[in-house]
């Protein structure tokens, strides 16, 4: 019974997007411009669409992968480099964590609240400034250790890590700015 369950679990269709994210549809079809698909629980008459140029590959229920990504010119990644780039993005998405970004962004938001109206762009500019540098140390699990020095993998990891730092700095900077401004209004009244 367990063997039957594991064999059916591996027979899942998959759409791998160029941004590294994965969609698990119940059915899909590849058109000229779009990949049409349905998710479990969707309305039977409704189709979801994703631009064909945003899809890296599709895998059918028999685990046969069809790569839709084709490099347009010599500046684009090769198919193997694009796969490594997406692995780098996924590694950063699951493993990158810098609590110092959250703490410093919250501090900047709290401190900038003193400037009242003029403080609104400060957390934004701090987010831009903090994302100008790539992480010095890559935080990845053992399964990706052999790819740590690969240029495409590192490029994908660094890009996603900078995106995560920007999102975290904006989130915590503006939350703390709101708290700071609310406290300032309560003190003034």
Pair 27, 37: CB distance under 8 Å: yes
Q: What is the pLDDT of residue 11?
A: 57
pLDDT above 60 for 3: no
pLDDT value of position 166? 94
Instruction: Evaluate whether 144 touches 153 at the Cβ level (below 8 Å).
Output: yes
Neighbouring C-beta atoms of residue 118, cutoff 10 Å = 9
- Is residue 8 very low, low, confident or very high in pLDDT (cuts 50, 70, 90)? very low
One domain for residues 84 and 151:
yes
pTM: 0.76
pLDDT tens sequence across 126-149 = 999 988 888 777 778 787 788 878
Domain that holds residue 92: 79-188
Q: 86 in a domain, yes or no?
A: yes
Query: What CATH number has the domain bearing residue 58?
Result: 2.30.30.100
Residue 55's region, left for phi above 0, alpha for psi from -120 to 50, else beta, is beta
Residue 180 and residue 188 in contact, taking contact as beta carbons nearer than 8 Å:
no
60 and 99 co-located in one domain: no
Token output for 109: 């938001």
Query: Mapping DSSP to helix (H, G, I), strand (E, B) and coil, where does residue 76 land?
Result: coil
Distances (CA, A) of 117 to 64, 164, 182, 185: 57, 27, 12, 12
Same domain, residue pair 90 and 180? yes
Task: Let me know if residue 5 belongs to a domain.
Answer: no
Instruction: Confirm whether 2 is domain-assigned.
Output: no
Which helix (DSSP H) or strand (DSSP E) does residue 127 occupy?
A: helix 122-130
Domain count across the chain: 2
Asked whether residue 91 falls in the same domain as residue 165, the answer is yes
Residue 47 and residue 37 in contact, taking contact as beta carbons nearer than 8 Å = yes
Q: Indicate if 27 and 86 belong to the same structural domain.
A: no
Q: What is the rounded distance in angstroms from the CA atom of residue 108 to the CA atom of residue 112?
A: 6
What lies within 8 Å, CB to CB, of 185 at 6+ separation is none
Percentage of the chain with pLDDT > 70? 94
Residue 19 in domain? yes
Whether residue 29 contacts residue 36, with contact meaning beta carbons closer than 8 Å, is answered with yes
- pLDDT tens-place string over residues 20-38: 889 999 989 999 999 999 9
């Amino acid at each position: 019974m367990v063997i039957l369950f594991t064999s059916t679990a591996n027979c899942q269709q998959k759409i791998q997007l160029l941004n590294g994210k994965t969609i698990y549809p119940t059915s899909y079809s590849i058109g000229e411009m779009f990949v049409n698909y349905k998710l479990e629980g969707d309305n039977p008459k409704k189709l979801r669409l994703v631009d064909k140029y945003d899809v890296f590959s599709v895998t059918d229920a028999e685990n046969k992968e069809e790569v839709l990504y084709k490099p347009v010119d010599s500046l684009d990644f090769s198919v193997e480099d694009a796969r490594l780039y997406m692995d780098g993005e996924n590694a950063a998405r699951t493993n990158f964590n810098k609590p110092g970004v959250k703490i410093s962004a919250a501090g900047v938001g709290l401190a900038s609240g003193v400037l009242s109206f003029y403080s609104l762009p400060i957390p934004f500019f701090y987010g831009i400034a903090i994302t100008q540098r790539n992480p010095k140390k890559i935080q990845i699990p053992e399964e990706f250790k052999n790819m740590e020095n690969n240029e495409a993998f590192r490029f994908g990891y660094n890009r996603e890590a900078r995106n995560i730092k920007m999102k975290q700095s904006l989130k915590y900077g503006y939350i703390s700015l709101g708290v700071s401004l609310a406290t300032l209004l309560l003190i003034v009244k």
